[in-house]
Amino acid sequence: MSTAEIDSSLERLAAETSVSRLLQATGVELVRLLGASRCSISRVIGDLLVELSDHVRTGEPTPLQLYLVSDYPLTQEVIEAGEPRVVLRSDPNADPAEAELLERIGFDSLLMLPLRSRGQNWGLIEIYADDPFAEQEIQVAIEVAERVGTLLAELESNPHPVTRRTTS
C-alpha cells in the first residue's frame, strides 16, 4: 500500500460527521488497506466489550456481540497497556481464549489495537485475516487507530459538527 492510499483513507475518515459513521468507515478502510477479512470495533465499558461496528469484506451481515474483557486476558492486556498484539491461531503459545475465538469464527490471524481518545481507553479495534500481518500493515493500522482516536475526541466534544472539508 502506498502513502497516497493511506492518506486518502485518513482523509475519508476525517470527513465523517458522527461516531457511528466514523467507526463503520474505519472498519471499511482498515479491511481495504490491510487486505484483511473483517474489522470489528468495540467500546470498553467497565469489564464489557460492546461491539459497535463490524465490517466483513464479503459484505455478509454479522450480529454485534458483547464480551467480558476478563474472559480474554490478551484483550485485557491490549486495553490496559495500550499496545497492539497479534494472535496466530497456529501459535501453540497463543492466548487460549483468543485462539478459540479465531477457530470459532474461522480466521487464522488477529491484530488487536487499543482505541484511545483524549488519553483514555475508549475501545478496541480487532482486525481478522487469513494470513499473518506484516510489520508494515501493523504500523499502518496503528496510525489509523491513533487518528481515529483523535477524530472520536473531536466528534464527542462537538455533538453538532459542521461538515468537514478535506483537502485533495
pLDDT score for 168: 44
Which is higher by pLDDT, 138 or 160?
Answer: 138
Asked if 25 and 16 touch (Cβ cutoff 8 Å), the reply is: yes
Does residue 163 have a pLDDT over 80?
Answer: no
Asked if 16 and 22 touch (Cβ cutoff 8 Å), the reply is: yes
pLDDT score for 27: 96
Stated as kind and residue range, the H or E segment containing 54 is strand 48-56
pLDDT in tens, 61-106: 888 889 999 999 999 999 999 999 999 999 999 999 999 989 998 9
Domain boundaries, the chain: 3-157
Which segments of the chain does DSSP mark as H helices, in order?
3-14, 19-34, 73-81, 96-105, 135-157
Does residue 1 have a pLDDT over 90?
Answer: no
Does residue 12 have a pLDDT over 50?
Answer: yes
The CATH class, in words, for 3-157 is alpha beta
Average pLDDT, the chain: 90
> pLDDT band for position 134 (50/70/90)?
very high
| Total-model pTM | 0.90
Q: Which three cell numbers stand for residue 57?
A: 469484506
Q: Among 35, 36, 30, 65, which residue's Cα sits nearest to residue 50?
A: 65
Does residue 167 have a pLDDT over 50?
Answer: no
pLDDT score for 162: 53
pLDDT score for 159: 62
pLDDT score for 161: 54
Q: What is the mean pLDDT of residues 13-31?
A: 94
Which is higher by pLDDT, 97 or 159?
Answer: 97
Does residue 109 have a pLDDT over 80?
Answer: yes
pLDDT score for 160: 61
pLDDT score for 165: 46
